[in-house]
Amino acid sequence: MNLNFNMPVKLISGRSCIAENAGVFSRFGTKCLIVTGKSSAIKSGAIDDIKSALEQNDIKYEIFDEICENPYLQHCHECGTAAREFGADFIIGVGGGSPLDASKAAAIYAANPQMQAQEIYDMDWANPPLDLILAGTTAGTGSEVTAVSVLTDKTTGRKRAITHPDCYAKISFLDPKYTDTMPISVTISTALDALSHAVEGFLSPSCGEFADIFARKSIPIIWNALLCLEKSEFQLDENLRDELYYASIWAGFVLNSCGTAFPHPFGYILTEDFAIAHGRACAAFLPELVEYNLEKNPERAVELLELIDAPYTNFISVISGLADCGGISMTEEQILNYADRWENLKNFKNVYGGYSPEQGIALFKKLFLIKN
């Protein structure tokens, strides 16, 4: 029996959990840098709650709100420098997965003045990062509970994840209220991301008992939310928002425990070169993962379909419809260039029966090759 599990992040959850637990900030120091994107912290109301908690504790703060989607490591490096120059004792990351991941990197850069931006990928910095507190505003990445930070290198335009225990927050505030203001497109894409984490983990050979429990809990909730989202008149009530947000956290536990299969690295390509949002990009490859498992690992694939109480054809049509990547086309040369990145890709080993670059090439051709 595989009971491996690790969750060093203290979780504080519930609507208004920051206001109700404002005192916890006091033990992290007297100065902090808030790291966020242009709008999510404001629209969600998270910034007001955080400012008010900091003021109650006489903690001085500055705000770095330059983080874009699929954050550039170069921006994270600047952010780390800003934290150091301000003399921040700790960092608060607030927003979707992009600002949360950026704040993890910034906390590392801030504590390691000699480090160049790219050196973060070597994962051997000298000093431990500044303490980190997170507040998520999307129901998707689960970054609140993962040791992962996904960064884009501006010089190459390529996304790459680092996974390191120093990327864990000390505390994550899980307030689903902040997700109420997500536009529908962001709600759909982030829900697809959460589903991908849970499904890729559920079908992974490394899925242990705990990950299995969390995947079983999250998958039906996210699936049902996606069925609602399919309908254009869709409005999420508070209850559904709460459920979807917590399900994204359970899916984050699964990701953290099992890693991802090929939908994630393949999805990075659609984001980098075709500007497809992360969740939609990964979900575009989920039908192939399930179909592959129906052949290689049929019992588990059938269990997955039982969890969502839908046949495979239904799964394909809902996911492909919401991922909506049908308009993408690629030349054969382009596809072969992408395949250069798939030699020794560890995600291929995270699939029952293994997966190969050749299978990846065949899949990309099936989905995206330009038809003459």
- Least distance to ligand NAP, CB of residue 160, Å: 10
Tracing tokens 């498992």 back to the chain, one arrives at 293
* Among the listed residues 15, 31, 43, 349, the single contact to ligand NAP using CB under 6 A: 43
Measured from the CB atom, is 260 or 293 closer to ligand NAP? 260
Q: Confirm or reject binding of residue 49 to Fe ion (CB under 5 A).
A: no
From its phi and psi, is residue 308 left (phi > 0), alpha (psi between -120 and 50) or beta?
Answer: alpha
Measured from the CB atom, is 193 or 212 closer to Fe ion? 193
- Distance CA(173)–CA(54), nearest Å, equals 14
Cβ-Cβ contacts under 8 Å for 154 (sequence gap 6 or more): 72, 73, 74
- Cα 13 from chain centre: 19
- Distance CA(228)–CA(220), nearest Å, equals 12
Measured from the CB atom, is 184 or 362 closer to ligand NAP? 184
Task: Find which of Fe ion, ligand NAP, none residue 138 binds, CB within 5 to 8 Å per kind.
Answer: ligand NAP
- Taking each helix axis as running N to C, give the angle between helix 357-368 and helix 263-274, from 0 to 180 degrees, rounded to the nearest 10: 50
Helical residues (DSSP H) of 203-311, grouped into ranges: 209-230, 238-258, 263-274, 278-283, 286-296, 298-308
- Least distance to Fe ion, CB of residue 282, Å: 6
Measured from the CB atom, is 175 or 193 closer to Fe ion? 193
Do residues 307 and 220 make contact, with C-beta atoms less than 8 angstroms apart? Answer: yes
From its phi and psi, is residue 10 left (phi > 0), alpha (psi between -120 and 50) or beta?
Answer: beta
Q: Between residue 181 and residue 210, which ones bind Fe ion under the rule CB under 5 A?
A: 193
Tracing tokens 């849970």 back to the chain, one arrives at 198
- Least distance to ligand NAP, CB of residue 101, Å: 5
Taking CB positions, which residue lies at the least distance from Fe ion?
A: 193
Measured from the CB atom, is 131 or 193 closer to Fe ion? 193
Q: Which stretch binds ligand NAP (CB under 6 A): 4-12, 137-145, 206-214, 346-354?
A: 137-145
- Distance CA(274)–CA(276), nearest Å, equals 6
Q: Between residue 18 and residue 37, which ones bind ligand NAP under the rule CB under 6 A?
A: 37
Q: Which positions from 92 to 131 touch ligand NAP by CB under 6 A, shown as an x/- string? A: ---xxxx--x------------------------------
Positions that interact with Fe ion (CB under 5 A): 193
Positions that interact with ligand NAP (CB under 6 A): 37-40, 43-44, 69-70, 95-98, 101, 137-138, 140-143, 146, 148-150, 178-179, 181-182, 186, 190, 193, 255, 278-279
